[in-house]
Structure 1
Amino acid sequence: MLRFFLVLLFLFSQSLYIPALPAAQAAAEPLKPSATAFYTAKNPAGKRPMLTWNSVPGAVSYEIELLSRLPENPNGVLPSRYEITPLRTAYAPGYQADLSAILSDRVYWRVRALDYDKNPIGVFSDAQELVLSNTVRQPLKPLITSDLNWQNRPAPLYPVYAWIPISATTRYEVELLRRPPENPNGTEPSVYRIWSKQVTGFDCYDEAPRITPGTYYWRVRGIDAAGNPVGVFSGTASFTVEPNRGAYAATLGDSITHGGGDISHHPADWEYGYQTYLSFPAVNLGKSGDTSAQIADRFSRDVLPYQPKYLLILAGTNSLRGNVPATEVIKDLISLRSQCQAAGIRPIFLTLPPLRPEAMQRVFQAETAPDWQSKFNRVNEFIRHQDYYIDIAPALTGPDGLLPDYYSVDGLHPGIAGKQKIAQLINENWARVTAP
């Protein structure tokens, strides 16, 4: 979803779960990407090098600049006078450059992050030398970016597979396997395939809950307009599922729980999940796009195998922003409460953060029910009368009663700061809602 709409329109200490680059640290100095791909005289690139860099918090897209020499304006925000091609745009932290028309065997490249309106966020990265060689034949294949067991965490129940795109590709095919492929670097599907899906863009949301214990393997290949493979399959990534080990806590909900934000970041970007900032471990049972009815309906299938002691529930946003009345959402929350009680699980409800409809319209062309605020208020008042709840809505509400721009670019999905705020409120109230 998040990236799908955009394409159509075209981190934690062991105890505190803090990501490697907290937003607070990033805000203290100019945001600046760092290259993660290096091509030197000892390790030259072919004519289609994969340029990669670290993800910048809050970035919606990136611009890559190719230069004939080192820029005259390092640490700047404006293009260099030595630019040799127009700026290239990427929506993932990587870009495969086609340099077949470049006659020189030595150029430079750098990248800057952009917001939704294409304004620079921070400054250009340090320029990197890019040594090219006509004799190097690099395989044409996507580069996987998802790490579904990051820092040895439980994989999200509904995985999101992500990669850096390759050139001359119309769409991509992801395949999921229960054994490593017998044909690495091949072009044909593996005999061990158990599921596949074709998508545009650079991520793929799995519609099935991956709950059967064991190790899963996945890879992706490009496909052209005629349906033929572009290059070969990517390398193979794996993730492990262990629902039977039990869980201290779990989080259940829609895309706000599943993760992602700032339009081009998906749930596999761990800094965009509020679970990353919790002071305790929690398995992510969120599923993007779910209504409260769908969340209640999948409780037995998706929650019971984990048998969490505590279940954080954030449900109803997708229903209420549509035409579902508040009474129906309250019925779904009552169903979730009853199912939890029958299973010996303590339900802990989170109040619903508000929306910003004009931002949703601008980004997604999504209509919002005119009475959404009154419906949100009614559901939140119901939640505030439950035995166990955490009131996150006020902290995510601006003076105008809407979700502030600094918490969400698209008016629906909180970005990093929003997810940190949600986790902060949960952490501050955790002793209270888990007391015997």
Structure 2
Amino acid sequence: MNKKFLLIILILITLSWHLSLQNNDTIDAETKNTDQISTSEKTPLAPALVALSHFSLQDPSNNMPLLEWREDLNAVYYELELFDTIPDDLSDEELSSKNLYYTASVYTNAKQLDLTQIAPNALNGKTPLYWRIRSMDIDHNPITKFSALEELYATNQAPQMNAPIPHVIYNEKNGTTLLYPVYSFIPNANATQFEIEVTDNIPENPNGTTPSKYRIYAKIITGGELYDEKPRIGTFYWRVRGLDDEGNPVGVYSDAQIFKNEPQDNWKIAIFGDSISHGGGHLSFGPADWAYSYAYYLDFPTINLSCSGDTSETMVQRFDDDVLPFHPQYLLIMGGTNSLRAGMPAENVINDLKTIQEKCYENNITPILLTLAPINPYNIKKVFNEETSEVWQYNLNLVNDFIRTQPHIDTAKALNSPPILPTEYAMDGLHGDVIAKKIYAQEINDNISQFIAK
């Protein structure tokens, strides 16, 4: 569920097969007649994106400019074109055959280009290049028009530091403290893989290429983010460097970023759940993209103890290690969706929730259960290529019936959703897009006073 960039590749390979499912008579009628990801009707394009980086004749870039634009929370990825002249027949709705450079491998609202390879003749500070960007959906259809052409002047001066750029700041606002952190960054040009390093002290060798003596964890990945599989209790630092195909350094380590999950900070309220609570959605957004976390919209601070991929059973298993060190006074609990879609009987999930409640009461923690939203098996199959149990809906209703007899907040009812989760609430059929996360948060904000004064 959290291997986002690998899933992108899988989707590109199997797209035509997935699309054929839309007309497959074997699709369960209940699912087939519900809201699904569809491109059968062409929708009007949204307004063009806005460039945020500007490199003028008076203030040119170095030879590796970082192009940035306003983030589109509905984009799965972006298409970027670079020109050395302005085509006469340029359309803001179509790709141009006259571009100098093109890429669709852009999954965040920034891209670094190596102009020494792409446009070496333009590195004189006087010859303009032009770039534009547009948002794309899961089916490789444009969401927006292309942005207006942005001039790009550049010199042959090398950047002061060639490194990936961390794309997340922890512990700054509500909802930005994660026990299971996600290390998100903007890749540096020419790197094909990336090494993330976590240390328990600030690295003694900043912006170098060798490991820190304080290293406690490291992993090499090919995408732009890494989900940490371990809870990080304490204060830590993380940084990232680019590598080539052979594992040789491409530039240096980024500046180290601090994050902390300290029990002595006396967190009053904690969140405990799976990826729906951990954060992320719409395929290209993870827990470090705060707009996709309902914790970000809460009126009060929380520590997020959720872990992507959790079942109700694994939540029970890690309760003692992950919840008790922080000893929150109140615990918001949303869990069981992964169990139910995998075919786990409602009775098992209910028993797990009861166990979590008992553990809370034994430790003077007030448990607050959150009801579970419906899912969309068709969209889950399309996006993740994962099957859903045929009896998920029956079991989910039983679990929610139980939750509604306990101290709870009815986040599912607040969605006012039909039996199958509409695509507008969760493109991937599961995690909840921004609109759903805001609804969850509002319902919690409106009802938390039943349990505690804000």
- Shorter-chain TM-score: what band? 0.7 to 0.9
CA distance in 1, matches of 2:304, 2:445: 16
Q: Secondary structure at the match of 1:34?
A: coil
Q: Secondary structure at the match of 1:187?
A: coil
Tell me if structure 1 keeps the 8 A contact 2:425–2:436.
yes
Q: Secondary structure at the match of 1:417?
A: helix
CA distance change for structure 1 residues 127 and 239 in 2, over 3 Å: closer, same or farther? farther
Q: CA deviation at 1:218?
A: 0.9
Deviates more, 1:216-225 or 1:345-354: 216-225
CA distance in 1, matches of 2:104, 2:385: 26
Q: CA deviation at 1:405?
A: 0.2
Given residue 227 of structure 1, which amino acid in structure 2 is its aligned partner?
G
Q: What does the per-residue CA deviation read over 1:383-425, in whole Å, with 9 as the maximum and x for residues that have no partner?
A: 1111x111222343643x1111001111111010010111111
Deviates more, 1:317-326 or 1:164-173: 164-173
Tell me if structure 2 keeps the 8 A contact 1:144–1:163.
yes
- Give the one of 390, 396, 402 matched to 2:415: 396
Q: Secondary structure at the match of 1:151?
A: coil
CA distance change for structure 1 residues 375 and 47 in 2, over 3 Å: closer, same or farther? same
2:448 paired with 1:430: yes
CA distance in 1, matches of 2:70, 2:339: 36
2:437 paired with 1:419: yes
State the match for 2:356 in structure 1: 336
Q: Secondary structure at the match of 2:213?
A: coil
Matches within 5 A, 1:161-180: 161-180=183-202
CA distance in 1, matches of 2:86, 2:195: 38
Q: Secondary structure at the match of 1:348?
A: strand
Q: CA deviation at 1:311?
A: 0.9
Percent sequence identity over aligned pairs? 43
CA distance change for structure 1 residues 329 and 250 in 2, over 3 Å: closer, same or farther? same
State the match for 1:302 in structure 2: 322
CA distance change for structure 1 residues 206 and 46 in 2, over 3 Å: closer, same or farther? same
Deviates more, 1:150-159 or 1:274-283: 150-159
Q: Secondary structure at the match of 1:35?
A: coil
CA distance change for structure 1 residues 191 and 33 in 2, over 3 Å: closer, same or farther? farther
CA distance in 2, matches of 1:343, 1:71: 68
State the match for 1:158 in structure 2: 180
Tell me if structure 2 keeps the 8 A contact 1:44–1:136.
no
Calculate the aligned-residue CA RMSD, in Å. Answer: 2.6
2:217 paired with 1:200: no
State the match for 1:23 in structure 2: none
Given residue 3 of structure 1, which amino acid in structure 2 is its aligned partner?
K
- Give the one of 256, 261, 264 matched to 2:276: 256
Q: Secondary structure at the match of 2:168?
A: coil
State the match for 1:314 in structure 2: 334
2:240 paired with 1:224: no
How many residues align? The count is 414
Tell me if structure 1 keeps the 8 A contact 2:114–2:190.
no
Matches within 5 A, 1:35-184: 35-68=51-84, 76-79=92-95, 83-99=99-115, 100-102=117-119, 103-104=121-122, 105-137=127-159, 139-151=161-173, 155-184=177-206
CA distance change for structure 1 residues 201 and 356 in 2, over 3 Å: closer, same or farther? same
CA distance in 2, matches of 1:121, 1:145: 23
Given residue 299 of structure 1, which amino acid in structure 2 is its aligned partner?
F
CA distance in 2, matches of 1:76, 1:395: 39
State the match for 1:16 in structure 2: none
CA distance change for structure 1 residues 217 and 73 in 2, over 3 Å: closer, same or farther? farther
Given residue 391 of structure 1, which amino acid in structure 2 is its aligned partner?
D
State the match for 1:377 in structure 2: 397
State the match for 1:349 in structure 2: 369
Tell me if structure 2 keeps the 8 A contact 1:389–1:433.
no
Q: What does the per-residue CA deviation read over 1:122-143, in whole Å, with 9 as the maximum and x for residues that have no partner?
A: 3433433211222435643211
Tell me if structure 2 keeps the 8 A contact 1:172–1:220.
yes
Tell me if structure 1 keeps the 8 A contact 2:174–2:297.
no
Deviates more, 1:359-368 or 1:171-180: 171-180
CA distance change for structure 1 residues 312 and 138 in 2, over 3 Å: closer, same or farther? same
Q: What does the per-residue CA deviation read over 1:296-352, in whole Å, with 9 as the maximum and x for residues that have no partner?
A: 122222112222222110010111111322221111101110011111111111111
Q: What does the per-residue CA deviation read over 1:42-62, in whole Å, with 9 as the maximum and x for residues that have no partner?
A: 543344322222321221111
Given residue 391 of structure 2, which amino acid in structure 1 is its aligned partner?
D
Q: Secondary structure at the match of 2:368?
A: strand
Deviates more, 1:139-148 or 1:100-109: 100-109
Given residue 209 of structure 2, which amino acid in structure 1 is its aligned partner?
T
Given residue 40 of structure 1, which amino acid in structure 2 is its aligned partner?
S
CA distance in 1, matches of 2:382, 2:367: 35
Tell me if structure 2 keeps the 8 A contact 1:54–1:93.
yes
Tell me if structure 2 keeps the 8 A contact 1:51–1:94.
yes
Structure 1 unpaired stretches of 5+ = 11-28
